[in-house]
């Protein structure tokens, strides 16, 4: 069964690019394309849609208000925007992912893989056991007296500041009252690794390795002497196209 998609964007070029990208994935079918949120809302009311790709800045009704207007049994939502400013608000509204234009095909693949897993689970929930359900893909962190949901896939690295840490994500930095050892234990060991007394990194975000440092999102991070052997083994075995 294919996942039925609706594309919502007022930019014809963005639609064309996303359409060409989605054409490579057999499990996804584009049912319709709307250039504004009002037409999209009316289409969803009359048709069955599993997944909506929606831009933020559109005429008449913006993407955030469109998402808020989807109430009963809404489809999965992926925001596609050239602006990073609405990521937190989007995730608070329950969107599945937030893709920043121009959309990298590697990032799109991850997003569609996530959709496929959750879609299959939701469609077959009556036939699966609790142990088969996909594990949590996020962590809640207390920031300024609020519990903030942060998706593992969005974390770049975590930097220690004595009794505090800075969680660097694709969209925003979060400062929270943890020590690095404690927060590292809360993260999945197959996704994150400590590389220094001051740094824990997301393994799949490593772009390059050079001597005793690694590069993530154009930031060069040091690897500590006590961590370097294990860190290199894990990173190189789990990530392709690494520069050594």
Q: Is 135 domain-assigned?
A: no
Which of 126, 154, 172 is where one domain is finished?
126
- φ/ψ region of 20 (left if φ > 0, alpha if ψ in -120 to 50, else beta) reads alpha
Structural domains counted in the chain: 2
Which of 126, 158, 182 is where one domain is finished?
126
Model-level pTM?
0.57
Which of 74, 100, 126 is where one domain is finished?
126
Query: How wide is the angle at C-alpha 16 spanned by C-alphas 217 and 110, nearest 5°?
Result: 40
Which CATH number belongs to the domain containing residue 202 in this structure?
2.40.50.1020
Q: Is 136 domain-assigned?
A: no
Looking at the structure, tell me whether residues 106 and 23 fall in a common domain. Answer: yes
Looking at the structure, tell me whether residues 7 and 121 fall in a common domain. Answer: yes
Looking at the structure, tell me whether residues 198 and 158 fall in a common domain. Answer: yes
Q: Three-class SS of residue 143?
A: strand
pLDDT in tens, the chain (244 residues): 789 999 999 999 999 999 999 998 988 999 999 999 999 999 999 999 999 999 999 988 999 999 999 866 688 999 999 988 888 788 778 788 889 899 988 889 888 888 887 776 555 544 433 334 344 688 888 888 788 888 898 999 999 987 799 999 988 899 988 888 888 888 888 889 999 999 999 999 999 998 899 999 999 999 999 999 888 888 887 543 333 3
User: Whole domain around residue 200: which residue ranges?
Assistant: 142-238
Contacts of 105 (CB under 8 A, 6+ apart): 21
Burial (CB < 10 A; 0-12, 13-18, 19+), residue 11, is: middle
Looking at the structure, tell me whether residues 162 and 63 fall in a common domain. Answer: no
Q: Is 174 domain-assigned?
A: yes
Q: Is 132 domain-assigned?
A: no
């Amino acid at each position: 069964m294919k996942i039925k998609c609706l594309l919502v964007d007022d930019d014809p070029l963005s639609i064309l690019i996303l359409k060409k990208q989605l054409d490579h994935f057999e499990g996804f079918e584009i049912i319709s394309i709307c250039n504004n949120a009002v037409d999209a809302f009316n289409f969803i009311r009359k048709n069955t849609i599993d997944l909506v790709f929606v831009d933020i800045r559109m005429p008449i009704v913006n993407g955030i208000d469109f998402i808020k207007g989807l109430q009963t049994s809404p489809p999965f939502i992926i925001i596609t925007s050239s602006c990073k400013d609405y990521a937190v608000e989007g995730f608070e509204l329950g969107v599945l992912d937030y893709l920043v234009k121009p959309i990298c095909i590697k990032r799109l693949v991850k997003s569609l893989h996530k959709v496929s897993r959750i879609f299959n689970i939701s469609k077959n929930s009556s036939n699966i056991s609790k142990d088969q359900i996909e594990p949590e893909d996020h962590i809640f962190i207390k920031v300024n007296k609020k519990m903030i949901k942060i998706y593992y896939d969005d974390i770049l690295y975590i930097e220690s500041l004595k009794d505090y840490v800075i969680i660097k994500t694709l969209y925003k930095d979060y400062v929270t009252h943890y020590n690095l050892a404690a927060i590292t234990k809360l993260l999945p060991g197959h996704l994150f690794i400590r590389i220094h007394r001051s740094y824990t990194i997301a393994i799949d975000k490593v772009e390059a390795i050079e001597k005793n440092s690694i590069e993530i999102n154009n930031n060069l991070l040091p690897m500590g002497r006590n961590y370097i052997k294990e860190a290199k083994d894990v990173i190189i075995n789990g990530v392709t196209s690494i520069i050594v």
